């Protein structure tokens, strides 16, 4: 599954693939059923995956920094008491 691809989105990097997939789907049901959009969909999934992996790595780094700050505060509290 991928995030919703309509409306204002944070997915600027993959916008061209989203547009291409929407155009492919607009060609008709038969084109979708016969796999005409599979290549574009695969490329979009890979693009979204790259964004998700980068976002996750960023969140991990932020969490580690926040944890260090919290531990420093706890250490100061322990030293003061």
Tell me the pLDDT tens digit for each residue of 50-61: 989 999 999 999
Cα–Cα distance list, 5 to 46, 54, 69 (Å): 14, 19, 36
pLDDT at 40 over 60: yes
Q: In the prediction, which pLDDT does 80 show?
A: 87
pLDDT at 16 over 70: yes
pLDDT at 26 over 90: yes
Query: When comparing pLDDT for 59 and 29, which is higher?
Result: 59
Domain extents in the chain: 12-80
Q: In the prediction, which pLDDT does 3 show?
A: 63
pTM of the entire predicted model: 0.69
């Amino acid at each position: 599954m991928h995030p919703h691809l309509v409306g204002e989105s944070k997915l600027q990097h993959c916008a061209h693939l989203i547009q291409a997939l929407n155009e492919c789907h607009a060609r008709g049901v038969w084109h979708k059923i016969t796999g005409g959009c599979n290549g574009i969909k695969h490329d979009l999934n890979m693009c979204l995956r790259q964004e998700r992996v980068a976002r996750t790595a960023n969140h991990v780094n932020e969490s580690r920094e926040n944890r260090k700050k919290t531990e420093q505060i706890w250490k100061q509290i322990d030293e003061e008491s």
